[in-house]
């Protein structure tokens, strides 16, 4: 069988590699490995040109993690801890997301990808989650994932992929859903009440999680995406 082609959005950041130090379109290789293990063919989508025009050639889309979304896009001023805002990436990924939903393609949002979906549908974000929950467990230190349990909602696509029981997953986010966008349903939460997964009906597969499944050895969510494709 042909591997479904899965587009994955990417960063543009300064990076150092071999003898070079340059601006680079990049993506943590964990995303690529997870898609391949799940049976898909990954294609990296940089936020340049017109990436939304490529969506019609894909079988599914992953909006990957990254920096914070410009708070002006949901009507707020920046919190002092809001950072790594990249306007060009916001613009490109909103266009990719819109094209994906218009085409009814399977969609998996990861971390920023959940926040993009929520904002695109009219929702808002908590700009610095420790102010809300009183701890930094969702992002314990720069470059360090925080293991915390989440509880899927029974009957949801997330629960069908991962099971309905609480499970420990890898977190790295200091923002999260505040006001939920119209049409979205919360399908997993953390013990402190943080929204950790949402789904959009009646789309065949439009799932977004706030944690980082690419950092897990379990590829169940990626397998669910590929199966939907």
Catalytic residues: 111, 212, 214
Residues 6+ apart with CB under 8 A from 129: 138, 139, 173, 174, 175, 176, 194
Alpha-carbon distance 197 to 184, whole Å?
10
Q: Which ranges of 39-141 does DSSP label H, i.e. alpha helix?
A: 87-103, 112-120, 130-133
3-state SS class at 102: helix
Please state, in angstroms and rounded to a whole number, the distance separating the CA atoms of residues 167 and 145: 15
- Reference 122, options 52, 73, 82, 62; nearest CA is 73
Report strand pairing: 176-177 vs 5-9: unpaired
Q: At 70, list the tokens.
A: 């410009």
For residue 186, give the 3-state DSSP assignment: strand
- DSSP letter at 144 equals B
Residue found by looking up tokens 């939903």 in the block: 101
The two tokens of residue 183 are: 């049409």
Which residues neighbour 102 within 8 Å (Cβ) at sequence distance 6 or greater?
Answer: none
């Amino acid at each position: 069988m042909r591997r479904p082609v899965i587009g994955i959005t990417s960063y543009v950041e300064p990076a150092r590699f071999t003898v070079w130090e340059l601006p680079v379109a990049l993506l943590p290789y964990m995303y690529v490995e997870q898609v391949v293990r799940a049976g898909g063919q990954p294609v990296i989508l940089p936020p340049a040109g017109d990436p939304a025009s490529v969506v019609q050639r894909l079988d599914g889309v992953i909006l990957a993690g990254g920096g914070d979304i410009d708070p002006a896009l949901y009507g707020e001023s920046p919190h002092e801890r809001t950072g790594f805002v990249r306007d060009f990436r916001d613009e490109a990924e909103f266009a990719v997301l819109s094209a994906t939903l218009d085409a009814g393609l399977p969609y998996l949002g990861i971390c920023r990808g959940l926040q993009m979906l929520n904002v695109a549908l009219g929702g808002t974000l908590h700009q610095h989650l420790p102010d809300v929950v009183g701890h930094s467990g969702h992002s314990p230190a720069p470059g360090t994932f925080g293991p915390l349990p989440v509880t899927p909602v029974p009957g949801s696509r997330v629960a069908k992929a991962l099971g309905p029981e609480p499970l420990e997953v890898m977190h790295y986010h200091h923002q999260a859903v505040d006001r939920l966008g119209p049409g979205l349903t919360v399908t997993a939460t953390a013990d402190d009440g943080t929204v950790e997964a949402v789904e959009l009906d009646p789309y065949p597969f439009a799932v977004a999680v706030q944690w980082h499944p690419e950092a897990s050895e379990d590829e169940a969510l990626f397998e669910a995406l590929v199966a939907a494709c």
